[in-house]
Chain A
Amino acid sequence: MHYVILGAGPAGVTAAETIRQKDRNGRITLIGGEPEPPYSRMAIPYLLHGDIEERGTYLRQKPDHYDSLCIEYRHGRAGGIDSRRKELYLSGSDPVAYDKLLIATGASPVIPKMSGSNLDGVVNCWTLADARAILKRADKGAPVVLVGAGFIGSIVLEALYQRGCDLTVVEIAPRMVARMMDDTAGGMLARWCREKGVKVHTGTKVNAIRQTGSNGGATLAVDLSNGQAIPAQLVVLAAGVKSNTGFLVGSGVKVNWGIQVNPFLETSAPDVFAAGDCCEAVDISTGKPDMLAIQPVAVEHGRLAGLNMAGTKTPHRGSLNMNVLDTMGLISSSFGLWQGKPEGQTAKLIDEDNFKYLKLNFEGDRLIGAQSVGLTDHVGMLRGLIQTGFRLGGWKDKLIASPERLREAYIAVAQGAPIGGPTGPHVNTPIAKAAA
């Protein structure tokens, strides 16, 4: 049996390791599209901080990790697959024959349509190569423009701030982290950033980036829709991502926003599976397929795909969307249906002066989503309550009266602990059932 895993991010690496646990003898080939050992994109901001070196971003530390598991790690860029012949085509090398193939090619940044996005000094923050390009220009005091203040943009913002850059952030949406939190939380974040000296322009579009000269300092100018032109030595683009599926055209693998999969993470082509940022699997909150481009979901998919590929049939029950963000010391998080449901009740605690916010969204007496600013203690309990769908009973009204009693409510209703099993930690999924 030859298992081929295309993509060596968290989804691909987890799948390869899982297959090895289940199949001692099968041949496993793990193919990465970048020259480095498998690494974690989400560690890049800490490389930019200067907290870690490049090797600190590697998914596994031991240099012989893959060898020791008899996982053949190699480099290659996929140009296409033929799912009838069961062959994968890599540029510049012979076709790779597979028995089972996992596509775990992740996503890539979307480059906003505007002139100047290809100029020297305009970079993404997505790969280690991007990080090196940023490090070359993001000096202390250097004028830097960040395009996009979504979740990833805001993480990059923190890294650039830590480097001491003179930072301007431009976001087309009316608030920061618009797809993770509401106006109250987004407003708090923007106010916090401004108090720290970061210039934040929300509801503003970048019209163009121009070259302004070549002698030292700012060589670029960023023209905004509000008429301002911001000088910059570096422009970082973080304006959204799209899944890497271009090479699948004509392959028989169906793609919507991401690769379509069934609950076993199988694509429409036989023996071809997909996992991570490149695919759209079930969101536990809605019961519908969606691209939840976050690390924990990539790992979850990778694990389940690995089990299914190795013959341990295990359906995916859906993943919970969740994010945590540290913005210059202000920590925020969001979980599940953070916007709530129109007919559902909510509990809210807002303390603008102290940058504290907690919003809990209920459906009946279950928690279905939450947002928080300035809460770190036991914050995982929010996930616990949402994902298990524990009925809050009388605690719902207590929480509506005093949302800060969240931890008490959790302890009171949760009692026992979900225990790990062969497919990772198990929990009830009444939310998905309710939605189905």
Chain B
Amino acid sequence: MLKALVIDPGKCTGCKQCEMACSYENEGEFNVAKSRIRVFDFHEQGKMVPYTCTQCAEAWCQQACPVNAITTDPLSLVKVVHENLCVGCKVCTIACPFGTINYNASTGKVTKCDLCQGNPACSDACPTGAITFQDIEQTGFDKMKVWAAQAAAGSPDAPGAKAPVAKH
């Protein structure tokens, strides 16, 4: 069964435990600047929004890579960066329209969320259930419909009024 991160910003308190857990799990240090999940703070509305890679079905980062360093894990369908192949050209970082694959100057490679090989530290660390790791019940087509409806309904005056970012 395919699983994905489901994010419910309404439950996020902005504690940043997810960022700490992610950077510790993946970088070996508590450094939120290196986290692959980020919590955005909308103080005007008192809202927090955790944000990370949605593991696109046909990922822009993957298509842009000149040396095939981003592949799809056959079981989880997660997009994985192979550091031994990545040359650090950064083309994926501008190609990803979500901005969720980023250059890490200390390694000279790019990093992105790979769901911690099936055991995401962020969802484990989230104390409020704002980030959960769940079976995906929706098909790609359903997701597309949801997105199309949101894009069509987007009100220019009050953007940001609606909630989820990475809800699958």
Q: Which residues of A are in contact with B by a Cβ distance under 8 Å? A: 10, 14, 40, 42-43, 45-46, 51-52, 56-61, 295-296, 299-300, 303, 322-324, 326, 329, 331, 333, 335, 365, 376-384, 387-388, 390-395, 407-408, 410-421, 424-428
Q: Which residues of B are in contact with A by a Cβ distance under 8 Å? A: 38, 40, 42, 49, 51, 54, 56-60, 63-64, 66-68, 85, 87-91, 93-103, 105, 108, 140, 143-144, 146-147, 150-151, 154-160, 162, 164-166
Q: How far is the CB of A190 from chain B (nearest CB, A)?
A: 21
Q: A383-B97, A411-B165 are in contact. Are A393 and B159 (CB under 8 A)?
A: yes
Could you tell me if B159 and A395 are in contact, using CB atoms closer than 8 angstroms?
A: yes
Smallest Cβ-Cβ distance to A9: which chain B residue: B66
Could you tell me if B147 and A42 are in contact, using CB atoms closer than 8 angstroms?
A: no
Give 16 A-B contacts (CB < 8 Å), ordered by A residue: A43-B67, A324-B94, A377-B102, A379-B93, A380-B95, A382-B99, A383-B95, A384-B97, A390-B159, A391-B154, A407-B40, A411-B49, A416-B146, A416-B151, A417-B143, A425-B56
How far apart are the CA atoms of A392 and B160 in the complex, in Å?
Answer: 10
Interchain CB contact (< 8 A) of A413 among B49, B108, B160: B160
Could you tell me if A419 and B67 are in contact, using CB atoms closer than 8 angstroms?
A: no
Q: How far is the CB of A255 from chain B (nearest CB, A)?
A: 26
> Which of chain B's residues have a CB closer than 8 A to the CB of A427?
97
Interchain CB contact (< 8 A) of B99 among A52, A61, A379, A416: A379
Could you tell me if B154 and A40 are in contact, using CB atoms closer than 8 angstroms?
A: no
Interchain CB contact (< 8 A) of A411 among B40, B56, B140, B157: B40
> Which of chain B's residues have a CB closer than 8 A to the CB of A56?
67, 85, 87
Could you tell me if A295 and B150 are in contact, using CB atoms closer than 8 angstroms?
A: no
Could you tell me if B157 and A378 are in contact, using CB atoms closer than 8 angstroms?
A: no
> Which of chain B's residues have a CB closer than 8 A to the CB of A378?
38, 99-100, 102
How far apart are the CA atoms of A323 and B89 in the complex, in Å?
Answer: 11
Most buried by B among A46, A380, A384: A380
Could you tell me if B158 and A408 are in contact, using CB atoms closer than 8 angstroms?
A: no
Could you tell me if B56 and A42 are in contact, using CB atoms closer than 8 angstroms?
A: no
How far apart are the CA atoms of A393 and B158 in the complex, in Å?
Answer: 7
> Which of chain B's residues have a CB closer than 8 A to the CB of A60?
68
> Which of chain B's residues have a CB closer than 8 A to the CB of A424?
58, 60, 63
Could you tell me if B165 and A324 are in contact, using CB atoms closer than 8 angstroms?
A: no
Interchain CB contact (< 8 A) of B68 among A61, A295, A420: A61
Could you tell me if A411 and B90 are in contact, using CB atoms closer than 8 angstroms?
A: no
Could you tell me if B144 and A43 are in contact, using CB atoms closer than 8 angstroms?
A: no
Could you tell me if A335 and B66 are in contact, using CB atoms closer than 8 angstroms?
A: no
Smallest Cβ-Cβ distance to A391: which chain B residue: B156
> Which of chain B's residues have a CB closer than 8 A to the CB of A394?
157-159
Q: A40-B66, A417-B54 are in contact. Are A324 and B93 (CB under 8 A)?
A: yes
> Which of chain B's residues have a CB closer than 8 A to the CB of A323?
94
How far apart are the CA atoms of A187 and B27 in the complex, in Å?
Answer: 35
Smallest Cβ-Cβ distance to B108: which chain A residue: A51
Smallest Cβ-Cβ distance to A365: which chain B residue: B156
Smallest Cβ-Cβ distance to B159: which chain A residue: A413
Interchain CB contact (< 8 A) of B57 among A46, A395, A420: A420
Smallest Cβ-Cβ distance to A10: which chain B residue: B66
How far apart are the CA atoms of A412 and B161 in the complex, in Å?
Answer: 8
Could you tell me if B151 and A428 are in contact, using CB atoms closer than 8 angstroms?
A: yes
How far apart are the CA atoms of A420 and B67 in the complex, in Å?
Answer: 21
- Please give 7 more A-B residue pairs, beta carbons under 8 A apart, in addition to A299-B64, A300-B63, A412-B159: A45-B89, A324-B89, A378-B99, A379-B94, A381-B99, A393-B159, A417-B143
Could you tell me if B159 and A383 are in contact, using CB atoms closer than 8 angstroms?
A: no
> Which of chain A's residues have a CB closer than 8 A to the CB of B150?
415-416
Smallest Cβ-Cβ distance to A57: which chain B residue: B67
Could you tell me if A335 and B87 are in contact, using CB atoms closer than 8 angstroms?
A: no
How far apart are the CA atoms of A52 and B155 in the complex, in Å?
Answer: 49
Interchain CB contact (< 8 A) of B91 among A296, A382, A419, A428: A296
Q: How far is the CB of A194 from chain B (nearest CB, A)?
A: 22
Q: A324-B91, A412-B159 are in contact. Are A296 and B64 (CB under 8 A)?
A: yes
> Which of chain A's residues have a CB closer than 8 A to the CB of B97?
380-381, 383-384, 387-388, 418, 425, 427
> Which of chain B's residues have a CB closer than 8 A to the CB of A329?
105
> Which of chain A's residues have a CB closer than 8 A to the CB of B99?
377-382, 384, 407, 410
How far apart are the CA atoms of A410 and B155 in the complex, in Å?
Answer: 14
How far apart are the CA atoms of A377 and B62 in the complex, in Å?
Answer: 18
